[in-house]
Amino acid sequence: MAVSNGHTTARRPLPCGIYAPTMTFFDSETEELDIPVIKKHAERLAKDGLAGLVTMGSNGEAAHCTREEKLAVTRATREALDAAGFSSTPIILGATEGSVKGTIELSKEGEKAGADYVLLLPPSYFRGLMDEEAIEGYFLAVADGSPLPLVLYNYPGAVAGIDMDSDLLIKLAKHPNIVGTKFTCGNTGKLTRVALATNAKTPGSEGSGYMAFGGMCDFTLCVKVWNLYAEGKTEEAIKLQKVLSRGDWYLTKAAIAGTKQAIQSYFGYGGYPRKPLKRLDQTRISAIADGIREAMEVEKSL
């Protein structure tokens, strides 16, 4: 059970483990949502041992989707998980909108679509007016009005350079409807400070239940690395992490288009991002497939 805005509601908990941002797949000609492939991908992620899924994050091309499409993807993901026997797997919905009102509305609709939590960036369109007071006010107002608990999303590259510091994140974490932070800023020092101050959940302790998320990469290998670490097999985890880091760089450089083509190369689906993101030529597609080959061979052996 969880308490949100003074009401006790049934809520799927956020277990420790690996979470992945799901890609949003489109028809290669019309660029309409490809719901069957979206469902197929969600089922594959869950079967590979992920603790939870994130719909409409940066990798999900949230910036390219309408509110109705965001809800449709979330609904399809929930349906796929439930049908495959993963009804306890939580969904985090990227629900950032420019205003408090819009974000709360999307959070309410997201709950109806099957989301359990929302992932929120700070507002950034009026960058010059977004000082710390305005950002804090935005998150607190949304937390007061959202039926879904908030996971804060610190990703300066997506919000005109806004980089929330640890003091602000720790302050916001005191709100009962703010339950975690995703540190796509890559600042492990900041992550550690927030984790310590909030007594964040770890494999060995529930702590306060607050979640401090790092970045995401190849999910199946991540699950294996996580499991090895949780089992105390640190040396094996480090060895596998080295393989993971080598493959991850090829996907990081190629971004969304490259990740989709990597999925296409190894799993037979993936397609292309929505325009104006460019489609890759065959030379780059082959280079990506070769670059992640070591990681994929290890993945297939698991």
pLDDT exceeds 70 at position 219: no
Q: What band does 222 get if pLDDT is binned at 50, 70 and 90? A: confident
pLDDT at 9: 57
Q: How confident is the model at residue 8 (pLDDT cuts 50, 70, 90)?
A: very low
What is the per-residue pLDDT across 128-164, written as a single tens digit (0 to 9) for each? Answer: 999 999 999 999 999 999 999 999 999 999 999 999 9
- What is the rounded average pLDDT of the residues 277-289? 96
pLDDT of residue 203: 75
Q: How high is the mean pLDDT of the chain?
A: 92
Q: What span, in angstroms and rounded, lies between the C-alpha atoms of 12 and 145?
A: 20
- Using pLDDT thresholds of 50, 70 and 90, give the confidence band for residue 269: very high
Mean pLDDT to the nearest integer, 247-264: 94
Q: What are the residue numbers of the active site?
A: 153, 182
List of residues 6+ apart from 243 with CB closer than 8 A: 221, 294, 295, 298
Query: What is the rounded CA–CA span in Å between residue 143 and residue 140?
Result: 5
Distance CA 237, CA 234 (A): 5
**Which pLDDT belongs to residue 254?**
92
SS3 at position 12: coil
Average pLDDT estimate for 283-298: 94
| Average pLDDT for 268-278 | 97
- How far CA 146 is from CA of 38, 123, 235, in Å, comes to 26, 16, 43
Span 108-123, pLDDT tens digits: 999 999 999 999 999 9
Question: For the chain, which domains are there?
Answer: 2-216 (3.20.20.70), 233-302 (no CATH)
Decide if pLDDT at 218 tops 70. Answer: no
DSSP notation for 244-296: HHHHHHHHHHHHHHHHHHHHHHHHS----PPTTSPPPPHHHHHHHHHHTHHHH
pLDDT of residue 230: 87
Backbone φ and ψ of 183, nearest 5°? -100, 70
Residue 215: the pLDDT is: 59
- Where do runs of H (alpha helix) occur along 48-99? 67-83
Helix (H) or strand (E) holding 25: none
| Partners of 181 in the β-ladder | 152, 212
When comparing pLDDT for 70 and 2, which is higher? Answer: 70
Give yes or no for residue 228 having a pLDDT over 50: yes
Which pLDDT does position 293 carry in this prediction? 95
State the pLDDT at residue 226. 86
pLDDT for residue 268 is more than 90: yes
The number of beta carbons lying within 10 Å of the beta carbon of residue 152 is 24
